[in-house]
Amino acid sequence: MWLYLAVLVGLYYLLRWYRERQVVSNLQDKYVFITGCDSGFGNQLARQLDLRGLRVLAACQTEKGAEQLRDRTSDRLETVILDVTKTESIAAATQWVKEGTGDRGLWGLVNNAGVLMPSAPNEWLTKQDFMKILDVNLLGLIEVTLSLLPLVRKVRGRVVNVSSCLGRVSLLGGGYSISKYGVEAFSDSLRRELSYFGVKVAVIEPGYFKTGLTRNGRIAQGIQEAWDHASPEVKEIYGEKFPASLMKSTVRLEPSWCKNLSLVTDCMEHALTACHPRTYSAGWDAKLFYLPVSYMPSFLADAINNWNFPRPAKGL
């Protein structure tokens, strides 16, 4: 019985390995639009796809970021300035893509731009704090997708949405996990709808990586800022020592965050170039911790979470 099971599992992985190796043809003719290319995953993916010969349309938030990227890539790569929270900026970038790609359409759209801060216990934050993140990570992603989708559908291309392991497990309050849960929900419905038109939708769920988003002390700084703005009542129930303990528990984890961004950009590249893209968990923490925790019963996931985080002073 165990032998049959082992053979079945082996066959499954063999078949999966074979499917995953199949690559789409004529990559050199394909245009890929990536948001958030100033730094981090977006920047590395732009350079990686450029090296592979694809036609990269890199959207940066700043002219400085765009210039630095152009300096490091071939003449094939083009840049545009895009703020995903601004409708007029998205409309201008869409027009630029339409003019640049002409009849050839857009093979790939990578929704990568994102922000993490402010992230802190929910009661420390305001509605505006939540909106800051949702505007970029969720509503920006949705608006960019709706705007560029006709060009992607034309060539039966790909949409690659960057979610997070925190799109499966919500550890800290604030808009980040909410935005990424939203990205997962949007991607699921989009994938089903677009399957009728030959467009494939893939989701990338990275664990923790060292990028601009998580740069040294950035998370601790965000926690401190949120605490500074919290109400006196909240400060009383959490106690003055709480923010320092919370910061310590995040800073303690920082050395374990992965520096090898290729673990994520290789998944993005696979989603754009393989015949059969899928959902990707990138990084060992995502695969071995966050993904399993997401399937656990809530009481167990809560216990694991609370074990890692400090207790409020007036907590029961």
Ligand X SMILES: NC(=O)c1ccc[n+]([C@@H]2O[C@H](COP(=O)([O-])OP(=O)(O)OC[C@H]3O[C@@H](n4cnc5c(N)ncnc54)[C@H](OP(=O)(O)O)[C@@H]3O)[C@@H](O)[C@H]2O)c1
Centre a 10 Å sphere on the Cβ of residue 61 and count the other Cβ atoms it contains.
Answer: 21
- DSSP readout, 125-162? --HHHHHHHHIIIIIIHHHHHHHHHHHHHHTT-EEEEE
Give yes or no for residue 243 binding ligand X (CB under 6 A): no
- Interface residue with ligand X among 164, 177, 187, 273 (CB under 6 A) is 164
With CB under 6 A, what is the number of residues at the site for ligand X? Answer: 29
Q: Taking the complex as a whole, how short is the minimal distance between the CB of residue 269 and ligand X, in angstroms? A: 15
- Span near ligand X by CB under 6 A; candidates 6-14, 69-77, 185-193, 212-220: 212-220
Q: What's the token pair of residue 170? A: 């919500």
Residue 106 makes contact with ligand X by CB under 6 A: no
Q: Does 119 bind ligand X (CB under 6 A)?
A: no
Least distance from ligand X to the Cβ atom of residue 63, Å: 11
Q: Which stretch binds ligand X (CB under 6 A): 10-18, 100-108, 110-118, 267-275?
A: 110-118
Shortest CB 81 distance to ligand X, Å: 9
Shortest gap between Cβ of 241 and ligand X (angstroms)? 27
In 3D space, the residue among 38, 31, 40, 303 whose CA is nearest the CA of residue 164 turns out to be 40
Mark out the alpha helices in the chain (DSSP H runs). 2-21, 40-52, 63-71, 87-101, 127-134, 141-154, 175-194, 218-229, 232-238, 242-253, 262-273, 284-285, 291-294, 298-308
Out of 33, 130, 186, 209, the only residue in the binding site for ligand X (CB under 6 A) is: 209
Under the criterion CB under 6 A, does residue 39 sit at the interface with ligand X? yes
176 is catalytic: yes
Shortest spacing between CB 25 and ligand X, in angstroms: 29
**Amino acid at site 266:** D
The reply to whether 269 sits near ligand X by the rule CB under 6 A is no
Nearest-approach distance from CB 86 to ligand X, in angstroms: 8
Sheet with 200-206: strands ordered across: 78-81, 55-60, 31-34, 108-111, 158-162, 200-206, 280-282
| Cβ distance to ligand X smaller for residue 61 or 187 | 61
Q: CA–CA separation, 304 vs 309, rounded Å?
A: 9
Q: Which of 201, 158, 156 is nearest to 183 (CA)?
A: 201
Taking CB under 6 A as the rule, does residue 250 contact ligand X? no
- Residue 285 touches ligand X, criterion: CB under 6 A: no
214 contributes a contact to ligand X by CB under 6 A: yes
From 4, 12, 176, 290, the catalytic residue: 176
Q: Which of 82, 133, 152, 274 binds ligand X (CB under 6 A)?
A: 82
- The CB density around residue 168, as the number of other CB atoms within 10 Å, is 19
Residue nearest to ligand X (CB): 40
**Three-point CA angle 194, 103, 62, nearest 5°:** 80
Q: Whole-angstrom Cα distance, residue 32 to residue 69?
A: 15
What does the alpha-carbon distance between residue 147 and residue 142 come to, in Å, rounded to a whole number?
A: 9
Among 34, 93, 115, 159, binds ligand X (CB under 6 A): 115
Residues linked to residue 55 through DSSP beta bridges, in sequence order: 31
Between 111 and 273, whose beta carbon lies closer to ligand X? 111
Catalytic residue numbers, as ranges: 176
Report the interface residues with ligand X, using CB under 6 A: 35-36, 38-42, 61-62, 65, 82-85, 112-115, 136, 140, 162, 164, 206, 208-209, 211-214
